[in-house]
Amino acid sequence: MLFDTHVHLNVSHFDDDREDVMKRAKEAGVEYMVVVGFDHETIPKAIAIAEENDKIYAAVGWHPVDAIDMTDKELAWLEELSSHPKVVALGEMGLDYHWDKSPKDIQKDVFRKQIQLAKKVKMPIIIHNREATEDIIEILKEEDAKEVGGIMHCYNDSKEYVQTCLDMNFYISLGGPVTFKNAPLPKEVAEIVPLNRLLIETDCPFLAPHPNRGKRNEPAYVKLVAEQIADLRGVSLEEISEATTNNALHLFGITE
């Protein structure tokens, strides 16, 4: 049994074959997924997919690239949606210094507001981090995000930051890059994260694992991520699958 903690089945890449993609996931042993919505278009779609499918859940948040587009109206919308029975986390949220659509100060403000909302509604958060590690850690500490904890989504930082994240009550989630031959950092991280704080994901349709790198990613491929981590740690696929699934169920408060 596998749990893909971060999928974007709600984007147009899957409009032509979404049902087939979900069927292939189930055939690969993927029992649970969280569909992540991040703007006006993808949030309703994430919830709709979760409503229509058992063991598929939704997360709702505002992506840092689009932080400039978020107003108090959107924040109130996220708060309203947080009470939906299939919404299990807020996010993805965070900082993205790779793209320049939203100024850094606006990104930081929107990030802080979403952390404060998560504490208000008592939900874990999903962190998007691109080239902004130090600022993300500073904000998480200043806003006492440890109170709700959450996920360092598609962790791609050095192993030196792992303990800092763990100390702030965050799980480390690894995706396709852990399988890339030229990506040593996620491999090093996969070897040291405590088994009870490890999660797996695809971030599909992005970051497809080897040997599908460069192609459209899909939830079935999370098995390749689990297999690579099992190999790196010298344990069975079953051990990684069971641990990461139990971790996700616990974090998201899923009891079914």
Q: For 20-31, how does the pLDDT look when each residue is reduced to its tens digit (9 = 90+)?
A: 999 999 999 999
**What is the pLDDT confidence band of residue 234, given thresholds at 50, 70 and 90?**
very high
**What is the pLDDT confidence band of residue 87, given thresholds at 50, 70 and 90?**
very high
- pLDDT per position as a tens digit, 209-229: 999 999 999 999 999 999 999
- What predicted TM-score, i.e. pTM, was given to this entire model? 0.97
Q: CA-CA distance, 162 to 156, in Å (whole number)?
A: 10
What letter represents residue 204's amino acid? C
pLDDT value at position 256?
Answer: 74
pLDDT value at position 232?
Answer: 98
At CA 118, angle to CA 117 and CA 120, rounded to 5? Answer: 60
Q: CA-CA distance, 222 to 191, in Å (whole number)?
A: 18
> Domains of the chain (ranges plus CATH)?
2-252 (3.20.20.140)
Q: CA-CA distance, 182 to 204, in Å (whole number)?
A: 20
Q: What's the rounded mean pLDDT across residues 51-78? A: 97
pLDDT at 144 over 80: yes
pLDDT value at position 228?
Answer: 98
- pLDDT per position as a tens digit, 160-206: 999 999 999 999 999 999 999 999 999 999 999 999 999 999 999 99
Q: CA-CA distance, 228 to 222, in Å (whole number)?
A: 10
Q: What's the rounded mean pLDDT across residues 142-155? A: 98
Nearest to 125 by CA among 161, 88, 98, 154: 88
CB 99 within 8 A of CB 127: no
